[in-house]
Chain A
Amino acid sequence: MRETFAREKPVIQVKKLRKEYIMGQEKVVALRDINLSVYRGEICCIFGTSGSGKSTLLNQLAGLEKPTRGQVLIGGVPVSLLDENQLAAFRQRHVGFVFQSYNLLPELTALENVAMPLMFRGMPKDIREREAMKMLARVGLKDRIHHFPGQMSGGQQQRAGIARAFITRPDIVFADEPTGNLDSKTTKEVMAMIRKFARKFHQTIVLVSHDPEMT
């Protein structure tokens, strides 16, 4: 179900993680006592059939959902114990997301979308947009910076999404089926791009996919 390449000390450490959903009378166990370590610079791919709990695991790792039992430590910090405020600060500093459905804000241009995580940090507009410009150039969207998401193709949107995920130089980037909506050629491009960034900044990637071909 998972595949890791060991290096130094773990960035992500999962201990006895359990997630149950209570649906009325029934109890769905989505994750059953997971133990896992991910090291710096690793690209961790989570494979599995549909409904096997990949997304659930990723949500626990990223602190989007609280586990029923067990602990997730990221850089030694127990994310499941953080409050809303600490989580926001934590995400600003350590975490990036690439979403399957891109999730760019439709009313903002590519530039504003990419610069958004820096805006949440309170960075002035001119500095963050200069940074966003560089990121967009790196993903090959130099002449799309003032386009709105609706005016871009899926592949272009996802490249903007990748630029947004990496702009803060996060320690870990989480990606839940980032290529799920793309054709095979674009999938290869996008995956290459994620890999390139991860190598360049020595970052950890946690990636969910149902297709083992991806690596």
Chain B
Amino acid sequence: MSFSDILKMCTDNLKRRKGRTFLTVLGVFIGCTSIIVMVSIGVGMKESQDQMLAEMGDLSVIEVSQQYGSDDAAKLDDVTVETFRNIAGVAAVMPKASLGDFSVSLKAGINDRYYCDWSNIVGLDTDAMEAMGFELIDGKYPAARPDEAVGGQYLAYNFYDSLMPEGYNMVDRWDIYDENGNELEMPEPFFDILKTPVTLEITANDGTESVHRKTMKITGLTKEDYGKGWETSEGIMMSIDNMKALIKDVKGEADPKLTYSTILVKAEDISLVTAIEEEISGLGFYTYSMESMRESMEKSARQVQLMLGGLGAISLFVAAIGITNTMVMSISERTREIGIMKALGCYVKDIRLMFLMEAGSIGLIGGIMGIIFSLIISVGINLVAMGTLSAGLTGQAFVDALLGGEGITRISVISPGLILFAIAFSIFVGVASGYYPANKAVKISALEAIKRE
């Protein structure tokens, strides 16, 4: 039999029992839709995780700190810095020192009008910031001068205005929605921190309560990056020399052996992070990286995906049983017909192919319908999540909900790969569930044609 003849026989048979075919297709349709929607939610979860991590910072940076608990733990000093520099795949190493036991508050403006009770002051190699992957959103890196430093992106928002009453003395940078829920620009801080010198007020914790003041100029602002440290958001970063001078100033003597609070190690490539991290922790240090966090998040996302996909798979499995059932029924109804066809010389392989194609078509039709419906559901969920339903539907909103884009968080993500997979899988489910009935059909004897009802 030619392929087109087999195809015609199989479509004729499907059309002949429209109601039953429809119900069977419906089962596949529901199963396929639930698998696609479930998987798409899993993929969407991963997409928003990745977006979140990318916003949080550089995935290639490892933060190394000392092990807690024991005094003879490996120390973070200049020797260690050298050791790290020599590890294969390390692009840059940056030691960071903290002010340690001193508490610091910040003052700015005329008569110290603006104040900030607590800030994270860090000493680091300011010349290496660019190589480490620090990014400036404004201004420039400090020169090698004792009174210059860079601040974090949102440093200025930590200041209170002492001339304003309680409740109005702070600029809330998260307050970006108006009463209708529309997103606004972030409000401006009280003052331009690049043009206003900032005074560090350092109190020694040695019981003397002596206060040292040091006025510095903030020359630039770093882009927030939690991979490199929280100070890139709200702290102040100065050169290690400036930091040493500051400590000497407060203590009245230089710290003879300054150990670093943390050392940042930047890998040449994200793929090297895990290996470098293992080597460093093998040296007895505690390490932390966005990459290791990403890995564990990815792992849990994969588990959730598997679980969601499994839920969908159950309904598709039920649909597969439906196909098998329909085919078995149709074959027992057509026993005589199959017998006649055999007696007239129809090849067994043609009969098998006919039934496999019938089952496969049920899978395919259900799969295609499922894909279309899943896309509708997916776009719907995303539109609701994006808040476009209240803000008014535009063509762009539909495109964004379907394809995503910069800064768009989708709950459900259906990729072309997922669509192809769904089509292939639904055909496979159809054919697989037709396998047993088709074998039953080919076993029917030609003698059935002779038997009288």
Interface string of B437-453 (1 = CB under 8 A from A): 00000100111011011
> Shortest Cβ distance from B313 into chain A, in angstroms?
36
Interchain CB contact under 8 A, B347 and A85: yes
A146 at the interface (CB under 8 A from B): no
Interchain CB contact under 8 A, A124 and B345: no
Interchain CB contact under 8 A, A120 and B346: yes
Q: How far is the CA of A89 from the CA of B350 in the complex (A)?
A: 12
- Chain B residues touching A, majority SS: helix
Q: How far is the CA of A62 from the CA of B332 in the complex (A)?
A: 24
> Shortest Cβ distance from A184 into chain B, in angstroms?
21
Contacts of B449 in A (CB 8 A): 97, 99, 103
A137 at the interface (CB under 8 A from B): no
B342 at the interface (CB under 8 A from A): yes
Interchain CB contact under 8 A, B1 and A119: yes
A37 at the interface (CB under 8 A from B): no
> Shortest Cβ distance from A54 into chain B, in angstroms?
12
A100 at the interface (CB under 8 A from B): yes
B164 at the interface (CB under 8 A from A): no
A187 at the interface (CB under 8 A from B): no
Interface string of A88-125 (1 = CB under 8 A from B): 11111101010111010101000000001101111011
Interface string of B38-52 (1 = CB under 8 A from A): 000000000000000
B255 at the interface (CB under 8 A from A): no
- Which residues of B (286-344) have their CB < 8 Å from a CB of A? 336-337, 340-344
Q: How far is the CA of A107 from the CA of B10 in the complex (A)?
A: 12
> Shortest Cβ distance from A67 into chain B, in angstroms?
13
A59 at the interface (CB under 8 A from B): yes
> Shortest Cβ distance from A93 into chain B, in angstroms?
8
A contacts with B, residue count (CB < 8 A): 33
Interchain CB contact under 8 A, B348 and A84: yes
Interchain CB contact under 8 A, A88 and B450: no
By beta carbon, the residue of chain B nearest A100 is B452
Interchain CB contact under 8 A, B447 and A101: no
B111 at the interface (CB under 8 A from A): no
Interchain CB contact under 8 A, A59 and B450: yes
B contacts with A, residue count (CB < 8 A): 27
Interchain CB contact under 8 A, A122 and B1: yes
Which of B342, B346, B450 touches A99 (beta carbons < 8 Å)? B450
Interchain CB contact under 8 A, B452 and A88: no
If A97-B344, A122-B2 touch, whether A64 touches B445 (CB-CB below 8 Å) is yes
By beta carbon, the residue of chain A nearest B343 is A97
A211 at the interface (CB under 8 A from B): no
> Shortest Cβ distance from A201 into chain B, in angstroms?
18
Contacts of B5 in A (CB 8 A): 119, 122, 125
Interface string of B342-378 (1 = CB under 8 A from A): 1111111110000000000000000000000000000
What 8 pairs between A and B have smallest CB-CB spacing?
Answer: A92-B345, A91-B345, A120-B346, A88-B347, A117-B344, A84-B348, A103-B340, A120-B345
**Chain B residues at the A interface, C-beta cutoff of 8 Å:** 1-2, 4-5, 12, 16, 336-337, 340-350, 442, 445-447, 449-450, 452-453
**Chain A residues at the B interface, C-beta cutoff of 8 Å:** 55, 59, 62, 64-65, 84-85, 87-93, 95, 97, 99-101, 103, 105, 107, 116-117, 119-122, 124-125, 164, 168, 176
Give 17 CB contacts A-B under 8 Å: A55-B450, A59-B447, A62-B343, A64-B445, A88-B345, A91-B343, A92-B345, A97-B343, A97-B449, A103-B340, A107-B12, A117-B344, A120-B344, A120-B345, A124-B2, A168-B345, A176-B450
